[in-house]
Amino acid sequence: MKPAAKWLARVADPLLAANTLVAPVPLHRMRLLKRRYNQAALLAEAFAKEVHVAFCPDLLIRNRGAGSLEGLSAKERQEKLSGAIVPNPKRTDRLDGASVLLVDDVLTSGATLKSATEACFAANAKDVSVLVLARVAKLS
């Protein structure tokens, strides 16, 4: 993850505000148990260390699984993910007035990041930026 974190650090400077809090996009606990790791969390942690900012791995919670999103349109993905990510009740104090930088490994439609961003704003985050390692190309 360290090389990827270095790549992200090179482009992320405009996204870093004073007291930025870095958080990964969460996985549902069942997917985390099955996979045994959250790639976004590993990437976010390495990035936060690289740029010397605070990292909170459990800032957000995915309160329900969305199942497979493969083959769904952007609108269908948004509907399926609406409300699926919420602020961690134990961390709402960290979100209040915070500048949050959400990190994910891959951006497909943006539905997951939209849900995570809405969760941050629901807990009074000052602003939210997103940083992803890769974007899925649309086939025409």
Residue 41, CB-side half-sphere exposure with 13 Å CA sphere: 14
Judged by average pLDDT, the poorest of 25-29, 68-72, 104-108 is 68-72
Residue 38's Cβ-count burial label (10 Å; 0-12, 13-18, 19+) is: buried
**CA-closest candidate to residue 109, choices 79, 138, 140, 74:** 74
Please write the tens of the pLDDT for every residue from 1-10.
688 888 888 8
Place of tokens 């990964």: 24
pLDDT band, residue 64 (cuts 50/70/90): low
Summarised one tens digit per residue, pLDDT across range 93-113 is: 999 999 999 999 888 778 889
* pLDDT of 5: 84
Asked whether residue 131 carries a pLDDT value surpassing 70, the answer given is yes
Most confident of 33-42, 80-89, 91-100: 91-100
With beta carbons less than 8 A apart as the criterion, state whether 111 and 83 touch: no
Average pLDDT over residues 63-89: 72
